[in-house]
Amino acid sequence: MRRIFGLKGLLLVIFFFNCTFTYAGFDTKTASPPVQDEDRPPRSERSQPRPPRPKYRNDELLIKFKAGVPERNSKNVHGRRGGSLVREFSRLRLHHVKLKKGVSVEEALKEYRAEPEVEYAEPNFIYAPLQQPDDVMFNELWALRNTGQTGGTAGADIKATAAWDLATGSSEVVVAIIDTGIDASHPDLAASVWTGGGLDSFNQDPDPFDDHGHGTHVAGTIGARGNNGLGVAGVNWNVKLTACKFIGADGYGDTAAAVQCLEHIKGLKDAGANIVATNNSWGGVDFSQALYDAVDAQRDILFIAAAGNNGSDNDSILFYPAALDLPNVISVAATDHNDDKASFSNYGSRSVHVGAPGQDILSTLPAVNIWSLTGGYGKLSGTSMAAPHVTGLAALLKAQQPSRDWRTIRNLILAGADPVPSLAEKTLTGRRINALGALSCTDKPLLVPTQYPAEFPLSSGTYTLSAMSINCGNPSGPVTVTTSEGDTVTLQDDGVFPDLAAGDGIFSASWTVPFYIIPKPVQYLKFSSPAGVAYVPSLSITGYLPEGNLNHGYRQYLQSAGGVAPYTWTVQGTLPDGLTLNGATGELSGFPRRSGTFTFVVTATDAIGHGGSKPYSVQVSDGLVIEDRFMSYRAGTNSVPRGIAVDGAGNTYLTGALQNGAQDGLDHYLTVKYSPAGSLLWSRTYDSGINEWSQGVAVDGSGNLYVTGGEPDPTWLPSSITHLACTTVKYDAQGNELWSRSFDDGKIDSAREVAVDAVGNVYVAGYTTYEYPWRHDTLLIKYDAAGNVLWSRSYDAAEVDRVFSVALDAAGNVYMTGDKGVRGADGYYSYQYQTLKYSPAGDLLWVRNYDDYTAYAVAVGADGSVYVAGDYFAVVKYNADGAVLWNKVVPVGGVNGQELHITSLAVGKKGQLYAAGRFFDGSATIYALAKLDANGNILWTKPIPGATKPYVTIALALDSNDALYVTRPYDGGMVTSVYLEPLVVEPLAVAVKGKPYSQAMTFKGGAAPYTVSLAAGALPPGLAIDPATQVVSGTPTASGTFTFTLQLSDAAGAQNLADSVLRVYEPLEIAFTDKGTGRVDFSTGASCSGPCSLSFEPGTVVTMSATAGLDSLFTGWSGACSGTGNCTVTMDGTREVGAGFKRLTSTLTVSRPWSGSGSVQATPGLACTGNCAQVYDFGTEVTLSATPAAGSVFAGWGGA
């Protein structure tokens, strides 16, 4: 397939720390809501669309002619190729050319490169500044002197105040700022700006006025006037600042304008201006030979450049101009107020020299700036803010000692810097600048290998070996390299190729691996000089340590790269309580016993005594979800995750991009498979010859895998690119490619996700892009299992109709979600979630819109419920007919303002919804997970670690047990964690001494069946656990509180140590004596109206009172108590108490006062024929009947 030139994105978007990040290329959107959630944070009703972002001027080229080509010949070349000369840089033999209308850049490049007089031809690349705005007007300049005033770490600064005791700058020293210009009228800058040296190459005039704001902010950090009672102070109180503006108010500039700036500054230097350095806080990912030549032509000026804000490894993805391999270039990473590498900052152990403060930096701003910050000052973040700290230090060193040249100044900056753990293995020096250390440098040796083979062992080949060996400002030689086989190479600092500059402290040589009769691969190289010893490959500790959970089993192996096995492992700092490090194996294991954050440094030492260290911070929590295990993957270059799937057997599949995978400037599909145990089974890349990312992955019931993707952001493409295919690849379970299919409908087709149904039909969803400046339509393609297209569908309701996610229900209906964007008459867009439902035959069943910008995730439950989520945090639930059931905002930790921006959804077996995304906590963007029930109630949220990037999606999938598999970027690669709701046992019921007990354990979390055993402690005497049934049974013979530890495990192999308690109470037996009625009341609130049995914790003091019934009399206590008052017992054993209640009685007396005879019958009672008496219980009803004897008459009753 034809390779397409220049599809790799160049521009760095200006990131906003106080905004939610979205994937690069997605517009900001708003619209009117069909359903309004009252909890939704307010936002503006309209938003301005982001303009298309071309990577180079689409009608211009830069042409360099070979030495000796006459002017007429170059004109003839332009005449043949239809180019017209815009400007010429004669010193560089470089022409800036405008192309004839209708001629594309790609066509013109091919034609010019075919001309024999042309040395090279390249596009006129576009660059952007590298800053991130944040809150306004913070008065703490923590970067210069950090006392902890911003919540950071005291001392994490460049020691400027101490350095000012040695030098505060000089107006004789000039710094050139190549940027958006300078506001020369700013009161904190006016006295320092050299207006006579300025140039505007963007507008081609002599006034570099800053109509953007970036250049003025940079200028304030370098040289805002100090000790003048105004605003802020720069690193230099006194310095001359000159500006060359090559970036316009829109934030874009191009190579030709940058080269013109460099040539202008070189001219000023040659004319006598004391220019020590240029500051270059801008860049992109495409190499420009013209820019290289321009920087190389001014070796006597330091070129200080921002490393970039992608959070990526510049060793793998070169970022220019910071990555220009020239001795006068210093590439600068950004650090924060804790001396941590800023999360956004690029890094590179061979391509980035040093770090400097770059987050939340307060500096000068023009009155009108793109952030609408007022008051003349504002706080920005970015490597753009880090570079001017270094540039300012260069000027300060020149002011302190005017005779210092660029070599000495560069070396002092690097040697005088402070080692900080966050930059170890992340920059060449592993250091953050220290102004005092540079200005007062004494005996600070530094030896750092700078060029060496990328991979070991070595069997053959010729390589350039280089090392920086300095002591403060001076070279420190000689430098020798000894191979693992004992051969030696001497490096030279003589300016003879491959050494680039004599006397600069960088020593170089060309080396060919010796031929050995018996093959002996070179395992390592040892660099030695008076400045020290260093090995390559360097011994580094790699890998990710997951969080721990209280009492949950933890077992991880630390990993090393480089060095010679075997290794020994040591730790400094505080490991989590309950964990130990095995010094021989690097195993970190145990059961965490205390929650908290534990920080420590691990050191590995190899067999030849070479060591490497890495700081770790492990969180131990006692939460509702735990990180059980993880899988990590890192290729030779950055690998970016985009999708994840888990099959029924528990195999895990990841897909994404291998950035610059073939060193061709392009990205390619990357697919990785892990076993259920987390072992890497295989990885595959797919290269169709264009820049493309795999965006989605799905697996069928046979273990076949489907990945799909395409151009990651079509809006980056030049207008000359009008169609690109999206490609879907099918692999078998072993990773063999079964087929690949490219879909091309004449537009730019971008696939975003893939789903597969029960019979192997494949559904690919995404969108098409056409009609520059771009329109979008949805795209849905159905393939059969053999890769034949069954049908495709598109939907066009507005200027923007895009799809980012797809899901299927049990019936094979297709649900897609994304956004709809409508341009208003004022040019502004309104955006909505847009969800579409198709039948398996491709019939559109319904479309639903919801006001919440862009949706990135859709999932379908077993009951047909449809969940959609994305920008501005809302989750929306529809029924199968598209009716809205509810919507929900998900604030992480319940904190308003920390709402989760959701990029991935999954529905569990019980209808619970799992979400993954990112949120902004006020200072950084953090990944997080959430769980909701089917009614939208938030069950938990959980922040998780990872290298958050605005253009990288965190993705999740569920396995058959509803374990969460979550993938996100980490340390230039991908880390996938498995999260579980922890396996715990519910509390056991109380037992009573001497009473039979049987209690089945109840488990939460994990997957049945469970196993349990006693790990520590003891059950109460008389009780035991049945491992098969998990029933605790028996008759306890002792009371008390019995603590013990249970070893729990489930069907998935999850293990946990659960501390459990079983309390055995003492019985209190209450007997009622006599035959009366009454009630016994207890001080605990209980009561008995008859014999009863209660139980209490041993030692409990129980007081009882007795209340007789109306027909009874309390006669007193017996057993453990006596008397008739309250009864008090201490439950230090079994207690028996009797309560006597005696019924009250009355006597019925029958008398016969006359002489007659007869009988009286009492019922109940006896018959009386004379006088008699009968005792009855109080309240008994007695009926009397009189029967006269013969000869007598009953005369009646008397008395009662």
Q: What is the pLDDT of residues 1162-1188, one digit of tens each?
A: 888 878 888 888 887 777 888 888 888
| CB contact at 8 A, 206 and 195 | no
Say whether 384 is catalytic.
yes
SS3 392: helix
Nearest to 849 by CA among 865, 862, 832, 863: 832
pLDDT at 718: 67
CA distances from 1170 to 460, 841, 1156, 1165 (A): 139, 110, 10, 15
Quick check: is 802 in a domain?
A: yes
The yes-or-no verdict on residue 130 having pLDDT over 70 is no
pLDDT at 34: 26
With a CB cutoff of 8 Å and minimum separation 6, the contacts of 517 are none
pTM here?
0.68
Tell me the one-letter amino acid at 1021.
P
Strands annotated E in 675-786:
680-686, 693-699, 705-710, 726-731, 737-743, 748-756, 762-770, 775-783
Record the tokens describing residue 128, joined without a space. Answer: 């952007």
pLDDT at 660: 63
| Mean pLDDT of all residues in 303-312 | 90
Quick check: is 422 in a domain?
A: yes
Q: Using CB atoms within 10 Å of the CB of residue 237, give its burial: 0 to 12 exposed, 13 to 18 middle, 19+ buried.
A: buried
The per-residue pLDDT for range 252-282, each reduced to its tens digit, is: 899 999 999 999 999 999 999 999 999 999 9
Task: Name the residue range of residue 230's domain.
Answer: 129-429
Mean pLDDT score of the chain: 87
Residue 799: how many other CB atoms lie within 10 Å: 16
pLDDT at 23: 23
Which entry of 95, 186, 214, 217 is annotated as an active-site residue? 214
Angle ∠(1122,1125,1126) on CA atoms, nearest 5: 90
More confident of the two residues 548 and 906: 906
Cα separation, 660 vs 312, whole angstroms: 12
CA distances from 7 to 114, 350, 724, 743, 901 (A): 22, 26, 11, 19, 28
Quick check: is 150 in a domain?
A: yes
The total of structural domains in the chain comes to: 5
* pLDDT band (50, 70, 90) for residue 135: very low
Record the tokens describing residue 475, joined without a space. Answer: 């070279």
With a CB cutoff of 8 Å and minimum separation 6, the contacts of 155 are 146
pLDDT at 40: 25
Q: Are residues 591 and 657 in the same domain?
A: no
Cα separation, 890 vs 868, whole angstroms: 13
pLDDT at 1174: 82
Q: Are residues 519 and 564 in the same domain?
A: no
The yes-or-no verdict on residue 962 having pLDDT over 80 is yes
Q: Packing angle between helix 383-400 and helix 406-415, nearest 10 degrees? A: 120
The per-residue pLDDT for range 322-352, each reduced to its tens digit, is: 999 999 999 999 999 999 998 889 999 999 9
The yes-or-no verdict on residue 1023 having pLDDT over 80 is yes
Angle ∠(1139,1145,1147) on CA atoms, nearest 5: 165
The yes-or-no verdict on residue 685 having pLDDT over 80 is yes
Q: What is the CATH number of the domain that holds 616?
A: 2.60.40.10
Q: Of 400, 429, 458, which residue constitutes the final position of a domain?
A: 429
Q: Are residues 350 and 373 in the same domain?
A: yes
Record the tokens describing residue 20, joined without a space. Answer: 């939610």
Quick check: is 965 in a domain?
A: yes
The yes-or-no verdict on residue 169 having pLDDT over 50 is yes
Nearest to 20 by CA among 686, 747, 716, 948: 948
Q: What is the CATH number of the domain that holds 492?
A: 2.60.40
Q: Using CB atoms within 10 Å of the CB of residue 1033, give its burial: 0 to 12 exposed, 13 to 18 middle, 19+ buried.
A: middle
Q: What percent of the chain has pLDDT over 90?
A: 58
Record the tokens describing residue 501, joined without a space. Answer: 């500059």
Record the tokens describing residue 116, joined without a space. Answer: 């024999």
DSSP 905-931: EEE-TTS-EEEEEEEE-SSSEEEEEEE
Beta-bridged to residue 123, according to DSSP, are: 61
How many residues appear in the chain?
1200
Query: What is the distance in angstroms between the CA of the first residue and the CA of the last residue of the chain?
Result: 124
Q: Are residues 597 and 511 in the same domain?
A: no
Nearest to 293 by CA among 65, 618, 60, 41: 65
Quick check: is 333 in a domain?
A: yes
**Tokens 């290269």 identify what position?**
687
* pLDDT band (50, 70, 90) for residue 18: very low
| CB contact at 8 A, 87 and 100 | no
| CB contact at 8 A, 470 and 196 | no
The yes-or-no verdict on residue 25 having pLDDT over 60 is no
With a CB cutoff of 8 Å and minimum separation 6, the contacts of 1125 are none
pLDDT at 628: 82
SS3 238: strand
Record the tokens describing residue 1187, joined without a space. Answer: 């029967």
Cα separation, 1148 vs 1175, whole angstroms: 6
More confident of the two residues 1191 and 43: 1191
Q: Are residues 398 and 506 in the same domain?
A: no
pLDDT at 1: 25
Residue 816 CA from chain centroid, whole number: 26
Return the DSSP state at 1120: T
Across the beta sheet with 955-958, the strand order is 626-633, 973-980, 964-970, 955-958
The overall longest dimension of the chain from CA atoms, in Å, is 172
pLDDT at 948: 58
Per mean pLDDT, which range of 27-41, 207-221, 454-468, 1131-1145 is the poorest? 27-41
Q: Are residues 668 and 760 in the same domain?
A: yes
Q: What is the CATH number of the domain that holds 965?
A: 2.120.10.30
The per-residue pLDDT for range 851-884, each reduced to its tens digit, is: 878 999 999 999 999 999 997 668 999 999 999 9
More confident of the two residues 175 and 775: 175
pLDDT at 873: 60
Say whether 504 is catalytic.
no
pLDDT at 947: 63
pLDDT at 1191: 83
The yes-or-no verdict on residue 37 having pLDDT over 70 is no
Say whether 214 is catalytic.
yes
Q: Are residues 654 and 671 in the same domain?
A: yes
pLDDT at 664: 56
pLDDT at 665: 57
Q: Packing angle between helix 71-81 and helix 105-113, nearest 10 degrees? A: 140
Q: Using CB atoms within 10 Å of the CB of residue 847, give its burial: 0 to 12 exposed, 13 to 18 middle, 19+ buried.
A: middle
Quick check: is 819 in a domain?
A: yes
Q: Are residues 475 and 573 in the same domain?
A: no
Q: What percent of the chain has pLDDT over 70?
A: 92
Q: Of 370, 396, 429, which residue constitutes the final position of a domain?
A: 429
Tell me the one-letter amino acid at 212.
H
Quick check: is 27 in a domain?
A: no
Per mean pLDDT, which range of 599-603, 870-874, 999-1003, 1010-1014 is the poorest? 870-874
Record the tokens describing residue 133, joined without a space. Answer: 């705005």
Which entry of 281, 331, 351, 384 is annotated as an active-site residue? 384
Cα separation, 30 vs 44, whole angstroms: 8
| Mean pLDDT of all residues in 901-918 | 93
Beta-bridged to residue 844, according to DSSP, are: 838
Record the tokens describing residue 286, joined without a space. Answer: 């495409």
Return the DSSP state at 629: E
Residue 167 phi/psi, 5° resolution? Answer: -165, 145
The per-residue pLDDT for range 889-899, each reduced to its tens digit, is: 999 888 887 88
Cα separation, 730 vs 952, whole angstroms: 24
The yes-or-no verdict on residue 996 having pLDDT over 70 is yes
Q: Are residues 355 and 474 in the same domain?
A: no
**Tokens 């004839």 identify what position?**
100
Residue 466: how many other CB atoms lie within 10 Å: 25
| CB contact at 8 A, 921 and 900 | no
Q: Are residues 596 and 638 in the same domain?
A: no
Q: Are residues 300 and 407 in the same domain?
A: yes
Residue 266 parent element (H or E)? helix 255-270
Q: Are residues 516 and 555 in the same domain?
A: no
Cα separation, 345 vs 426, whole angstroms: 10
The per-residue pLDDT for range 507-545, each reduced to its tens digit, is: 999 999 988 777 788 989 999 999 999 999 888 887 789
pLDDT at 1200: 72
pLDDT at 15: 27
DSSP 280-301: E-EEBSS--HHHHHHHHTTTTS
Nearest to 328 by CA among 353, 309, 358: 353
* pLDDT band (50, 70, 90) for residue 1062: very high
Quick check: is 924 in a domain?
A: no
pLDDT at 7: 22
With a CB cutoff of 8 Å and minimum separation 6, the contacts of 656 are 639, 640, 641, 642, 643, 670, 693, 694, 974
Which entry of 27, 134, 179, 286 is annotated as an active-site residue? 179
With a CB cutoff of 8 Å and minimum separation 6, the contacts of 29 are 47, 819, 821, 829, 830, 831, 832, 853, 854, 871
The per-residue pLDDT for range 373-421, each reduced to its tens digit, is: 888 999 999 999 999 999 999 999 999 999 999 999 999 999 999 999 8
